[in-house]
């Protein structure tokens, strides 16, 4: 957790994430199955997902013992890109890197630690 909360801009958060990518290779990324293109309203490419049960899907690759989202391109901690950024699932869209006080989400540092990256 940051001892000196900051107020990061959207641009600086995007730049930070583009040089990290740890969360996309740490957690299971699951969401309501109807977010996929298996339905006419869905946008997440269904071929990049796995059906977990009747109601939930996850991004392919994220439910393994060594998770890595199939949509992630690049090298963790260097340069990464979400290849389905415009169509990523709600769980990725809603993830807050910093709270309203500018304090880092502890999940970020959990993921970064797993990949040997310095905490934020």
> Which residues here bind ligand SF4, judged by CB under 6 A?
16-17, 20-24, 29, 59, 69, 71-72, 82, 84, 88, 92, 95, 97, 108, 111-112
CB of 55 to ligand SF4, least distance (A): 19
CB of 24 to ligand SF4, least distance (A): 3
Q: Pick the closest to residue 24 from 117, 100, 92, 97 (CA basis).
A: 92
CB of 74 to ligand SF4, least distance (A): 10
Nearer to ligand SF4, 29 or 53 (CB): 29
Nearer to ligand SF4, 12 or 39 (CB): 12
Q: CA 39, CA 22: separation in Å to the nearest integer? A: 30
CB 17 within 8 A of CB 112: no
Nearer to ligand SF4, 33 or 111 (CB): 111
- Taking only Cα atoms into account, the Rg of the chain, rounded to an integer number of angstroms, comes to 15
Nearer to ligand SF4, 39 or 79 (CB): 79
Strand partners, 31: 57
CB of 62 to ligand SF4, least distance (A): 7
**Residues written for the chain:** 120
Q: Pick the closest to residue 21 from 76, 102, 68, 67 (CA basis).
A: 76
């Amino acid at each position: 957790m940051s001892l000196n909360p900051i107020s990061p801009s959207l641009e600086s958060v995007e730049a930070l994430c583009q040089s990290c990518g740890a969360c996309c290779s740490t957690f299971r990324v699951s969401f309501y199955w109807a977010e996929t293109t298996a339905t006419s309203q869905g946008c997440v490419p269904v071929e990049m997902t796995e059906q977990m049960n009747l109601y939930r899907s996850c991004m392919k690759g994220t439910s393994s013992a060594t998770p890595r989202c199939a949509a992630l391109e690049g090298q963790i901690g260097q340069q990464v890109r979400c290849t389905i950024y415009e169509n990523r699932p709600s769980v990725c869209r809603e993830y807050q890197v910093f709270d309203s006080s500018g304090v880092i989400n502890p999940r970020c540092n959990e993921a970064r630690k797993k990949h040997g990256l310095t905490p934020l």
